[in-house]
Structure 1
Amino acid sequence: MKTSINFKAAKSDSEAHNFRKKTFDYIRKDLTVKNEYWSEEKLSDRLHKIESYCKEKSGRKLQKNAMPIREAVVVIKDDTTLQDLHNLSKRLEEELQIRIFQIAIHKDEGHFDKETKEWKPNYHAHMVADWQDLKTGKTLKHQSFHYSKMQDITAECLGMVRGTEGSKGRLEAIEFKIRKKEQELLALDEKINGFKSELSSKKFENLIVKESDFLGFKKIRTDHTLDNYEKVFKTYNVQLSKNKQELEFKNKVIKELQSKNLDLKKEISILKDKLSSVLSNGNIYSSEKIKYLDSVKDTLIKTLQFEKTKLPQLFTGSKEKLIAEINDVCKKVSQENNIPFSAFEEVFKDSESVSQIISLLNFGNSEIYYNSEQIPLQQKKKKQRRL
Structure 2
Amino acid sequence: MKTSINFKAAKSDSETHNFRKKTLDYICKELTPKNEYWMEEKIADRIQKIEVYCKEKSGRKLQKNAMPVREAVVVIKEDTNLQDLHQLAKRLEDELMIRIFQIAIHKDEGHYDKDTKEWKPNYHAHLVADWQDLKTGKTLKHQSFHYSKMQDLAAECLGMERGISGSKSRLEAIEFKIQKKEEDFKALEEKYNEMKSAINSKNFEELIVKESDFLGFKHIKTDKTIENYEKTFKVYNHRLLKNKTELESKTKQITELQVQNKELKKEVSFLKYKTNSILTNSNIYSVQKDKYLKMVINALERTIKFERFRNPHFKHLSDSQEMIKEMSGICKKLSKENNIPVSAFEEIFKDSENSVRFLSLLRFGNENLNYNDEDIPIKKRKRGRRL
TM surpasses 0.5 = yes
**More deviation in 264-273 or 333-342?**
264-273
**1:299-378 counterparts in 2 under 5 A?**
299-314=299-314, 316-363=317-364
Q: What residue is the counterpart of 1:165 in the other structure?
A: 165
Q: What residue is the counterpart of 1:84 in the other structure?
A: 84
Output one character per residue of 1:238-281: Cα deviation in whole Å (capped at 9) or x when no partner. 11111111111110011101111111122223223322332232
Q: Identity over aligned residues, as a percent?
A: 70
> Runs of 4+ in structure 1 displaced over 4 angstroms?
none
**1:127-206 counterparts in 2 under 5 A?**
127-206=127-206
Distance 2:353 2:72 in 1: 34
- Counterpart of 1:361 in structure 2: which amino acid? L
Distance 2:152 2:273 in 1: 19
Count, aligned residues: 365
Q: What residue is the counterpart of 1:6 in the other structure?
A: 6
What's the offset of the Cα at 1:308?
1.1
Cα pair 2:323 2:363 within 8 Å, conserved? no
What's the offset of the Cα at 1:75?
0.8
Output one character per residue of 1:208-255: Cα deviation in whole Å (capped at 9) or x when no partner. 101011222211111110111111111111111111111111100111
What's the offset of the Cα at 1:135?
0.9
- Counterpart of 1:4 in structure 2: which amino acid? S
SS across alignment from 2:313: coil
Q: What residue is the counterpart of 1:246 in the other structure?
A: 246
Distance 1:364 1:89 in 2: 20
Distance 1:59 1:317 in 2: 41
Structure 1 gap segments, 5+ residues each: 366-387
Q: What residue is the counterpart of 1:380 in the other structure?
A: none
- Counterpart of 1:237 in structure 2: which amino acid? N
**More deviation in 334-343 or 349-358?**
349-358
SS across alignment from 2:340: coil
Output one character per residue of 1:262-312: Cα deviation in whole Å (capped at 9) or x when no partner. 111222232233223322322221111111111111111211111111111
**1:200-349 counterparts in 2 under 5 A?**
200-314=200-314, 316-349=317-350
**1:7-156 counterparts in 2 under 5 A?**
7-156=7-156
- Counterpart of 1:308 in structure 2: which amino acid? R
Structure 2 gap segments, 5+ residues each: 367-387
Cα pair 2:327 2:359 within 8 Å, conserved? no
What's the offset of the Cα at 1:117?
1.2
Output one character per residue of 1:177-234: Cα deviation in whole Å (capped at 9) or x when no partner. 1011011111111111122222222321111101011222211111110111111111
Distance 1:113 1:167 in 2: 28
- Counterpart of 1:161 in structure 2: which amino acid? E
Distance 2:83 2:95 in 1: 18
What's the offset of the Cα at 1:364?
6.8
- Counterpart of 1:362 in structure 2: which amino acid? R
Distance 2:192 2:28 in 1: 43
SS across alignment from 1:313: helix
- Counterpart of 1:227 in structure 2: which amino acid? E
What's the offset of the Cα at 1:107?
1.2
Cα pair 2:314 2:362 within 8 Å, conserved? no
Output one character per residue of 1:34-88: Cα deviation in whole Å (capped at 9) or x when no partner. 1111011110010011111111111111111111110011111111110000000
Distance 1:49 1:262 in 2: 48
What's the offset of the Cα at 1:28?
2.2
Distance 2:215 2:144 in 1: 89
Structure 1 residues 357, 240: CA separation in 2 closer, same or farther (over 3 Å shift)? Answer: same
- TM-score, with length taken from structure 1: 0.91
Distance 1:139 1:362 in 2: 33
What's the offset of the Cα at 1:95?
0.9
Distance 1:48 1:127 in 2: 19
Cα pair 2:305 2:365 within 8 Å, conserved? no
What's the offset of the Cα at 1:115?
1.3
Output one character per residue of 1:111-161: Cα deviation in whole Å (capped at 9) or x when no partner. 111111111111111000011111111111111111111111101111111
